[in-house]
Structure 1
Amino acid sequence: MTGSVDKAPWLLARFAQAAIGVGAVADVFRVVAVRDHRLHPTDASLSRSGFASMVFVYVMTAAVVLFLVWFSRCRRNAHVAGDGSAVWAVAAWLIPVVNLWVPRGLLLDVQRASSTEAAEKGSKDTLVNAWWVAWVGHGLLAAGSQFSKGTSMPLLVASEAFNLAAAGLVLCVIQRITALQSAALPTVSPAASRTHA
């Protein structure tokens, strides 16, 4: 990392981790409620599925916002050089199709720039890659389950297994990058940080 007197964003990391964990569990409840309503449509099942969907949308909106704020802060702390601004670093997560590969590279750039050990810069991509596979897998399976009207139990189970795996892995990714920054930021001298200001 090149200099900054910023601190590692531990509070943002904790809020993002909590929201992501709650969001993953809320998605499981939402999928079960929606499937139940599609198989046995009643006013009660409609109410349950609507409530579960509403809770999921609110929690996941909070999780996405917190994750993107955390990511932007980590990117700024790491002084990642390259092809764009903080706006692009956030927008890349939200643009369909682009968000299937660009954000992974941005996240790896932040992780590598946050590491103080040269040996760590390329050897610890496995965690990010595993999360990325689980996240994209969940998205593809969730989209595929819509073709079966959300009632195919094997697709729903596989999709939610990827969902929970992706949530667990991203919690570890957030922890790792924040810890790398926590270790690296105190080593920056105030003189070096003034030259970068």
Structure 2
Amino acid sequence: MPLASRGLLTAVVAVFAAAALGDLFAVYTGVRLRMLVDGDATALTASSLDSAYSLYERAGQVQVSTSLLCAVLFVTWFFLMRRRTGLLAPDRFRMGPGWAIGAWFIPVANLWLPYRVAVDMWGACSPLPTEGESHRVPMWPVNLWWGLFAGTALLGRYAAARFDKADSLAEISDAVALYLAVDLLYAATAGAAVVFAVRLTALQRLKATEGPYWTPAGA
């Protein structure tokens, strides 16, 4: 039984850590821009505003770059995990392995379908209880990751629309404040994705090496 790759998992963890740092950098630049806009109007100059805004835009570019890298590595890991977990319990899956990639690219449905694949993978990796034992691996890593991911994606779209429509300094300040919350949630989402990936990989490797049944020692 093939084991989930620890090397790919390490790469996924590293790129999500970089993405979280990029999100926190965006928070810093957003706070800096908002303090400048909301500060003393007499001390506000065009050059200082342009400088703060340019730094904020650069932070956004860093976020885009790290997000794209996260997407490529995570979807690759997600697909390979689907193939490996499918060998453990083929009857647990409602969709074929290709959906581990395709589900991310269907508008609107991509807010739900990848979660279904993740739930099926989690169930396939969960060990079966032995006779007289009722053991179930908690689902909270899956639910936490997806709840943060889907919620932050929707809030991020709303924040982007608010920022694009902002015409006055007050509207820019409000949009940046909303983006601060989004960026913090993005950092939390990166952490939750790492927890999910690490826990699922550990479950797959445990079940592939020690068998399908749960024992107190194996748990």
* Structure 2 residue 119 is the aligned partner of structure 1 residue 112: no
SS at match of 2:173: coil
Corresponding position of 1:195:
none
How far apart are the structure 1 equivalents of 2:198 and 2:128? 17
Q: How does 1:34-183 map to 2 (within 5 A)?
A: 36=33, 39=37, 41-42=49-50, 44-79=51-86, 80=90, 82-118=93-129, 119=134, 123-149=137-163, 151-152=173-174, 154-183=177-206
Gap regions ≥5 residues in structure 1: 189-197
Letter in 1 for 2:55: R
- Superposed CA offset, 1:133-192 (max 9, x none): 11122112222223431632552343233222222211111111000011112246xxxx
- CA offset at residue 46 of structure 1? 4.9
TM-score in terms of structure 2 length: 0.71
Q: Cα distance 1:54–1:148, how it changes in 2: closer, same or farther (>3 A)?
A: closer
More divergent stretch after superposition (60-69 vs 46-55): 46-55
- Superposed CA offset, 1:5-38 (max 9, x none): 2122211111111111211221332355468399
RMSD of Structure 2 on Structure 1 (CA)? 2.8
Instruction: Report the structure number with the largest CA radius of gyration.
Output: 2
How far apart are the structure 2 equivalents of 1:61 and 1:142? 16
State the aligned residue count.
183
Gap regions ≥5 residues in structure 2: 38-47, 164-171, 212-219
SS at match of 1:116: coil
Q: Cα distance 1:111–1:120, how it changes in 2: closer, same or farther (>3 A)?
A: farther
* Equivalent of residue 18 in structure 2, options 5, 22, 45: 22
Q: Cα distance 1:24–1:89, how it changes in 2: closer, same or farther (>3 A)?
A: same
- Superposed CA offset, 1:40-94 (max 9, x none): 641x345423432332222111111111111111111111554544332112123
SS at match of 2:190: helix
User: Does the 8 Å contact 2:127/2:207 carry over to 1?
Assistant: yes
More divergent stretch after superposition (87-96 vs 167-176): 87-96
How far apart are the structure 2 equivalents of 1:151 and 1:14? 38
**Higher RCO by CA contacts (8 Å cutoff, separation 6 or greater):** 1
More divergent stretch after superposition (133-142 vs 98-107): 133-142
Q: Could you tell me the percent identity over the aligned residues?
A: 27
How far apart are the structure 2 equivalents of 1:90 and 1:72? 6
User: Does the 8 Å contact 1:137/1:159 carry over to 2?
Assistant: no
